[in-house]
């Protein structure tokens, strides 16, 4: 898996573009800037957008090539981000330390999905917000992005189970056009969730 992502991110072009994911952008601008956790951040498009809007960003990915591209983009845009290269399935973030976290098209094997989501929730402060956009099971019929293995695509009920105990502020399943570099392009079946951790900030 590391080799796959290093090869993809090692190309000169940005695999998913340099502009932020639109759903992430829409949701983040509704929140006051604070500390943001971005696991599976790849080439840094969302991290750099957040940093340009006042957030202190901790990005995470297993690809060293992704980190290089992210830091290059941050430099070009005049911001700085923290970027850790590590395996998301084993990384244990500091508890109650982030005001928001986002997973944007981060697809995990069934054996790891729930535990990773649980650790991200644990990393949020009370009142912290979890933003998620991911490909739905139906995306397997399309060639516009996402894993080619059905078990790596998500069902909304599983995602909501992972968010048990969170306050669900938005949940949506829809077909939308995505234009995010050469690998995300065209109509796509996606799930979107915004969930808040109970408690006062």
Q: What is the CATH number of the domain that holds 187?
A: 3.40.50.150
Q: Residue 141 carries which DSSP code?
A: G
What is the DSSP pairing of strand 184-196 with strand 167-180? antiparallel
Number of domains in the chain: 1
| CB-CB contact of 135 with 154 (8 Å) | yes
Report the pLDDT value the prediction gives residue 15, as an integer from 0 to 100. Answer: 96
CA separation for the pair 65, 136 (Å, rounded):
27
Domain span at residue 17? 2-196
Residue 200 has pLDDT above 90, yes or no: no
Report the chain's mean pLDDT, rounded to a whole number: 96
Phi first, then psi: what are they for 179, rounded to 5°? Answer: -135, 90
Residue 189 in any domain: the answer is yes
Residues with Cβ < 8 Å from 51, sequence gap 6 or more?
57, 74, 77, 79, 80, 81
Phi first, then psi: what are they for 132, rounded to 5°? Answer: -140, 130
Categorize the per-residue pLDDT at 33 as very low, low, confident or very high, splitting at 50, 70 and 90. very high
Residue 201 in any domain: the answer is no
Residue 31 in any domain: the answer is yes
Residue 88 in any domain: the answer is yes
Residue 67 in any domain: the answer is yes
151-197 pLDDT per residue, tens: 999 999 999 999 999 999 999 999 999 999 999 999 999 999 999 99
Long-range contacts of 24-30 (CB under 8 A, 24+ apart): 24/49, 24/102, 24/104, 24/131, 24/133, 25/49, 27/102, 27/129, 27/131, 27/170, 27/194, 28/53, 28/55, 28/100, 28/102, 28/131, 29/53
Confidence (pTM): 0.97
The alpha carbon of residue 8 and the mean position of all alpha carbons in its chain are separated, in whole angstroms, by 17
101-122 pLDDT per residue, tens: 999 999 999 999 999 999 999 9
Report the pLDDT value the prediction gives residue 94, as an integer from 0 to 100. Answer: 94
51-68 pLDDT per residue, tens: 999 999 999 999 999 999
Q: Using the Cα atoms of residue 23, residue 140, residue 69 and residue 84 in order, give the sign of their dihedral.
A: positive
CA separation for the pair 81, 66 (Å, rounded):
13
What is the DSSP pairing of strand 35-39 with strand 98-104? parallel
Residue 1 has pLDDT above 90, yes or no: no
Residue 201 has pLDDT above 80, yes or no: no
Residue 57 in any domain: the answer is yes
């Amino acid at each position: 898996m590391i080799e796959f992502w290093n090869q993809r991110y090692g190309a000169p072009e940005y695999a998913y573009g340099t502009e932020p994911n639109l759903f992430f952008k829409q949701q983040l601008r509704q929140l006051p800037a604070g500390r943001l956790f971005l696991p599976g951040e790849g080439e840094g498009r969302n991290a750099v957008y957040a940093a340009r809007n006042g957030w202190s960003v901790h990005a995470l990915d297993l690809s060293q090539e992704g980190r290089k591209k992210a830091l290059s983009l941050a430099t070009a845009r005049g911001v700085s981000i923290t970027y850790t290269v590590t395996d998301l399935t084993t990384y244990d973030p500091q508890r109650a330390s982030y005001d928001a976290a986002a997973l944007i098209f981060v697809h995990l094997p069934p054996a790891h999905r729930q535990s990773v989501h649980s650790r991200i929730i644990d990393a949020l402060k009370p009142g912290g917000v979890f933003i998620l956009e991911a490909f739905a099971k139906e995306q397997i019929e399309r060639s516009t992005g996402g894993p080619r293995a059905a078990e790596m695509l998500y069902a909304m009920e599983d995602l909501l189970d992972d968010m048990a105990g969170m306050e669900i502020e938005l949940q949506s399943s829809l077909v939308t056009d995505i234009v995010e570099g050469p690998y995300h392009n065209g109509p796509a079946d996606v799930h979107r969730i915004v969930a808040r951790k109970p408690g006062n900030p």
